[in-house]
């Protein structure tokens, strides 16, 4: 930063003065005189705005500090090479590490490490959970457990180093998560109830699995959604979607071929919504390889077919823009996919703000049936469908949410429930069930969060 400024000054005043006769200097802010020993003395008066001497001095200091900082970082890098083992032994005490982390210039790194640690804790809990439910001391679990332990150590050590390590950690994480997924799949084989509605409703939710902050690495992108296709087409069973922004407006979607790619933020496709088709409200889902979202104008349910990249829309005349869920504005149309198909939840003047459950006929893209529930939309945090039953949530406190209401479209019966679950952050803008893995996907104040759902079986 310093060098170009100095060079500029030299070229402006040094060489130029040689070309200008002394007499011509007798004007303005430059004067010249002959010194005692006959040398030429020039006085240049430069106003502060042209030559900020004090600021230059400050910059020199800053630059010195920066050079020092760079030297420190380079030293760290050099010693890091091939010295990982030594560092592993030198576990610095927590306060030092926190201080160093706080002085880190890159907030994303801080955030990532914080998340990695949360993730590791979640992993640990999940693995021991899985282990318990398996009731076995399988070597697979033992090695997974050890790997998590090792990762914790490495994360703690690497947090003060450069960003490139982060990608290494991310890849390790993706591998770890893949193994965990395989474990869960193995468990699913033992309990083959995916797609089966042979139960009497939700019993409980697991602890939240905080996957990571959104792909923009921007915790300010509070409005968004993520998840998987609730009725994937062949070849896209592992696909994930994501979209978010700093306001409830919806203008692009990202698609990832699998979990690893999601973690690495490596999308295979970005759909930027063309002018006029932009949406709002963030209660979108992917179902049958189409994204269903709420279009702004005309206010309507809209479908982006990911196979053909074509857009289509339908106005729902009764649906009102007056009623949203409690955490975010503009959530007027909430899409949901379950074992029985595609749904859209909304509230109307006629329903007096209570949620109406509408079944969407996917072929004709129309409403084929509707049910009025007793849940006031504005009191609910969000709602989702499982096996033709609508579940509504509400806030208990900053860290706790509960499923408090259920409406069964088959029996037209409503039930009041009290199924609490933990939140990672207070507010969330998207909560949806996915029947292909029986998980809930939540976009929790910028973070990807998911829950395993357990059902009552008689
Ligand atoms: C001398 O500097 C003053 C500001 O300090 C400026 O307003 C003025 O135009 C300068 N005179 C010449 C001849 O550059
Ligand atoms: C768990 O495993 C132990 C020993 O292998 C066995 O005695 C016990 O009955 C098992 N418990 C369950 C709930 O399967
Ligand atoms: C964990 O680290 C220990 C010691 O560094 C090593 O012996 C072990 O193989 C590692 N385990 C796994 C599962 O990576
Ligand atoms: C449904 O559950 C009951 C009780 O657990 C069981 O007897 C029955 O076989 C199950 N039916 C199906 C289709 O899984
Ligand atoms: C999407 O487009 C493909 C190709 O045109 C078509 O076969 C499919 O039925 C469409 N899906 C939906 C849900 O509109």
Q: What separation in Å is there between the alpha carbon of 148 and the centre of ligand 5?
A: 43
For residue 80, give Cα distances in angstroms to 73, 85, 88, 165: 10, 9, 11, 11
- pLDDT number for residue 352: 96
Q: Which ligand is nearest to the CA of 195?
A: 4
Query: pLDDT confidence of 8, banded at 50, 70, 90?
Result: very low
Tell me if 39 CB under 6 Å of ligand 4. Answer: no
Residue 179's pLDDT is 66
Distance CA 203, CA 205 (A): 7
Residue nearest to atom 6 of ligand 4 (CA): 198
- All structural domains of the chain: 2-45 (no CATH), 66-164 (no CATH), 202-455 (2.120.10)
Judged by average pLDDT, the poorest of 48-62, 83-97, 376-390, 408-422 is 83-97
Q: Per-residue pLDDT averaged across 4-20, rounded?
A: 34
Whether the CB-CB separation of 156 and 162 falls below 8 Å is answered with no
Q: What is the C-alpha separation between 382 and 56, in angstroms, rounded? A: 56
Q: Which residues line ligand 5 (CB under 6 A)?
A: 288, 290, 305, 307-308, 362
**Closest by CA position to 323, among listed 249, 268, 385, 375:** 375
Q: Mean pLDDT throughout 364-393?
A: 97
Instruction: Specify the pLDDT at position 195.
Output: 84
Per-residue pLDDT band at 403 (split at 50, 70, 90): very high
State the distance from the centre of ligand 5 to the C-alpha of 282, rounded, in angstroms. Answer: 23
Of 263 and 179, the structure prediction assigns the larger pLDDT to: 263
> 296 or 187: whose pLDDT is higher?
296
State if residue 322 touches ligand 4 by the CB under 6 angstroms criterion.
Answer: no
Share of the chain above pLDDT 90, in %: 48
Ligand nearest to the CA of 457: 4
Please, are residues 118 and 210 in contact by the beta-carbon 8 Å criterion? Answer: yes
227: left (phi over 0), alpha (psi -120 to 50) or beta: left
Ligand 5 atom with minimal separation from the 290 CA: 13
Q: What is the pLDDT of residues 119-177, one digit of tens each?
A: 666 666 666 655 555 545 556 556 666 666 666 666 666 555 555 555 666 666 666 66
| 215-274 tens-digit pLDDT | 888 888 999 999 999 999 999 999 999 999 999 999 999 999 988 788 888 999 999 999
Q: Which residue has the higher pLDDT, 10 or 182?
A: 182
Looking at the predicted structure, is the pLDDT value of residue 305 above 90? Answer: yes
Distance 46 CA to ligand 1 centre (A): 8
Q: Quote the pLDDT of residue 205.
A: 92
34-88 pLDDT, tens digit per residue, is 666 666 665 655 544 445 555 555 555 555 555 565 565 555 544 444 333 333 3
CA distance 254 to 241: 6
Any ligand 1 atom below 6 A from CB of 143: no
- Count other Cβ atoms within 10 Å, centred on residue 134: 15
CA-based nearest residue to 227, from 16, 445, 1, 433 = 433
Token pair 């979209």 is found at: 243
Higher pLDDT, 13 or 417: 417
In the predicted model, is pLDDT for residue 279 greater than 80?
A: yes
Looking at residue 80, its pLDDT comes to: 41
Q: 108-122, 288-302, 340-354, 434-448: which range is least confident on average?
A: 108-122
Q: What is the dihedral of CA 451, 270, 230, 377, to 10 degrees?
A: 70
- CB-ligand 4 contact for 411 (6 Å cutoff): no
Residue 300: pLDDT above 90? yes
Mean pLDDT score across all residues of the chain: 77
Rounded to 5 degrees, φ, ψ at 144 are -65, -45
Mean pLDDT to the nearest integer, 279-307: 97
- pLDDT at residue 132 in the model: 59
CA angle 440, 441, 443 (to 5 degrees): 140
């Amino acid at each position: 930063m310093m060098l170009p400024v100095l060079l500029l000054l030299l070229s402006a005043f040094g060489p130029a003065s040689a070309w200008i006769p002394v007499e011509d200097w007798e004007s303005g802010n430059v004067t010249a005189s002959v010194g005692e020993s006959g040398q030429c003395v020039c006085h240049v008066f430069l106003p502060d705005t042209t030559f900020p001497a004090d600021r230059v001095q400050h910059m020199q200091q800053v630059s010195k500090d920066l050079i020092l900082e760079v030297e420190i970082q380079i030293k760290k890098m050099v010693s890091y090479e091939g010295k990982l083992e030594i560092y592993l032994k030198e576990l610095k005490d927590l306060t030092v590490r926190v201080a160093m982390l706080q002085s880190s210039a890159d907030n994303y790194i801080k955030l990532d490490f914080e998340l990695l640690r949360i993730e590791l804790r979640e992993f640990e809990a999940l693995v021991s959970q899985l282990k318990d439910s398996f009731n076995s001391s399988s070597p697979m679990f033992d090695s997974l457990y050890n790997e998590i332990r090792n990762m914790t150590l490495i994360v703690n050590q690497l947090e003060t180093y450069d960003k490139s390590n982060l990608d290494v950690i991310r890849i390790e994480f993706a591998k770890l998560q893949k193994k965990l997924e395989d474990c869960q799949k193995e468990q699913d084989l033992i309990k083959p109830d995916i797609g089966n509605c042979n139960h009497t409703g939700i019993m409980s939710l697991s602890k939240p699995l905080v996957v990571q902050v959104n792909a923009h690495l921007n915790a300010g992108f509070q409005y968004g959604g993520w998840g998987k296709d609730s009725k994937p087409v062949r070849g896209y069973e592992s696909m994930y979607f994501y979209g978010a922004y700093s306001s409830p407006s919806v203008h692009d979607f990202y698609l990832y071929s699998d979990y690893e790619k999601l973690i690495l933020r490596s999308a295979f496709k970005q759909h930027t919504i063309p002018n006029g088709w932009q949406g709002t409200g963030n209660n979108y889902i992917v179902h049958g390889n189409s994204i269903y979202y709420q279009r702004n104008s005309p206010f309507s349910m809209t479908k982006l077919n990911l196979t053909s990249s074509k857009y289509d829309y339908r106005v729902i005349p009764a649906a009102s823009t007056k009623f949203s869920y409690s955490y975010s504005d503009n959530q007027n149309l909430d899409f949901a996919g379950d074992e029985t198909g595609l749904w859209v939840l909304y509230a109307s003047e006629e329903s007096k703000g209570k949620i109406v459950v509408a079944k969407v006929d996917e072929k004709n893209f129309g409403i084929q049936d509707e049910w009025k529930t007793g849940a006031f939309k504005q009191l609910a945090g969000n709602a989702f469908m499982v096996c033709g039953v609508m579940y509504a949530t509400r806030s208990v406190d900053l860290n706790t949410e509960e499923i408090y209401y259920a409406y069964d479209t088959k029996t037209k019966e409503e039930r009041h429930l009290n199924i609490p679950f933990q939140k990672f952050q207070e507010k969330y803008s998207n909560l949806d069930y996915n029947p292909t893995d029986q998980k809930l996907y939540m976009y929790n104040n910028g973070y990807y969060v998911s829950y395993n759902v357990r059902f009552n079986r008689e």
